[in-house]
Structure 1
Amino acid sequence: MESLYWLGFLVLVLFYGSYLCKQLLLKRQGISTNRLGLGNKPARTLRIETALKFATFTMAGMQIISLLVVKEAYLLLAQHIIRCAGIGISALGAAVFITAMAYMKTSWRAGVDSDQNTVLIKSGIYRISRNPAFLGFDLFYIGFALAFSNPLQLVFTLLCVVLFHLQILEEEQYLPLVFGNAYEEYKQVTARYFIFF
């Protein structure tokens, strides 16, 4: 069982480490990537983004606590096969997220931002999902919640998945204003999450 905690730790470092590296690389180019809850946006968008920022930071803390403090006795799903599957799903989420960031290059942002110029990416992983970074987050969180299923972890996972979906809906109202018909055409041929879903 100790090996599951080490695997969880490695996936956690991979996921958040890649996020921070991408943020630092773009910052060196003068690009501010974390736009959640910042800027001139509709009040609803600001509320969703602020809640999402709070939830994701809290989730990172919950995940660390789940690894360091919460042991098997507190898990709701303690079966070894479920926990191993959770690590696998979490690792898949990290891979999807890293791939999405790589394809976005300098256009990657967290949050709606009308003040910075970005390019509509439709190649690579963006051919099968309009939101692979969010899909990666969802898989990472769900997998981690299966592997380390304490009650708080499960509650925050559900909260984050709902907030990511609300953020996607906000971005879907914003992107046609920036990219016009190109985004509308892209939306017609590429699924919101994955292939047909």
Structure 2
Amino acid sequence: MIFQISIFGLITCFYIGYFMKQILLRKKGIHTNRLAKGRKPPKTAAIETALLTATYSIAVIQYASVFFPRFILTLKFPASIRWVGIVLTGGGVIFFILAITSMRDSWRAGVDESQKTAIVTNGIYKISRNPAFLGFDMLYLGSALALPNVILLVAAVIGILLLHLQILEEETYLPRAFGDEYLQYKSRTARYFLFF
């Protein structure tokens, strides 16, 4: 029961932060969710559509894993692994909140060449080029370890893969948007964290 309560609290904090940031920026006339919106190359549009679908689906699966564990193909993981999942999930929440806070008005989900934003290299972006995506990765993997079931594990792997593909798409767009400033930042800052 402690694992369900912990994950419920952590994922709820994560998603409240996600939607509150969208609401606050929308009040300023900024539409942050650019996934699968506007004219995009077919590959980018396909990845963003899949990522958008996965993001909402995984949230539903996470909450279902909290409230209806008996109806999902539950796996037996040792308590130590489940606690690692709690710590990873908590780390994901922290990374994500620090990322959206550091991004201020420049935070967007998805590639959108029609919107001009500033490059952010301070705060948590000094140690990771993609701390918001890393936060999602940690949230997905952590919740799958803490509430182990086949559906959540498969969904977490798919979500992490799609987030990586989205990062690769953004890495083709960002040099066009920010030029040498981005390329210098990319050369000195890890894609995820430390050396990764």
**Other-structure match for 2:43:** 44
**Other-structure match for 2:140:** 141
CA contact (8 A) 1:72 1:78 kept: no
> Cα gap change, 1:83/1:117 in structure 2, threshold over 3 Å: closer, same or farther?
same
1:5 deviation in Å? 1.1
Matches of 1:73 and 1:154, distance apart in 2: 11
> For residues 17-52 of structure 1, what are the alpha-carbon distances to aligned partners after superposition, in whole Å with 9 as ceiling and x for unaligned?
000100000000000000000011111000000000
TM-score (norm 2): 0.97
SS in 1 for 2:108: coil
> For residues 63-118 of structure 1, what are the alpha-carbon distances to aligned partners after superposition, in whole Å with 9 as ceiling and x for unaligned?
01100001499432431111111011101101100100000000000000111110
SS in 1 for 2:100: helix
**Other-structure match for 1:107:** 106
* Mapping 1:48-197, distance limit 5 Å: 48-71=47-70, 74-197=73-196
**Aligned residues, how many?**
196
SS in 1 for 2:182: helix
Consecutive unaligned residues in structure 1, runs of 5 or more: none
Matches of 1:73 and 1:124, distance apart in 2: 39
CA contact (8 A) 2:72 2:149 kept: no
Matches of 1:77 and 1:172, distance apart in 2: 39
Matches of 1:76 and 1:104, distance apart in 2: 38
> Which amino acid counterpart does residue 60 of structure 1 have in structure 2?
A
Matches of 1:86 and 1:123, distance apart in 2: 28
TM-score (norm 1): 0.96
Matches of 1:112 and 1:72, distance apart in 2: 37
Deviates most, 79-88 or 57-66: 79-88
Q: Report the identity percentage.
A: 47
Consecutive unaligned residues in structure 2, runs of 5 or more: none
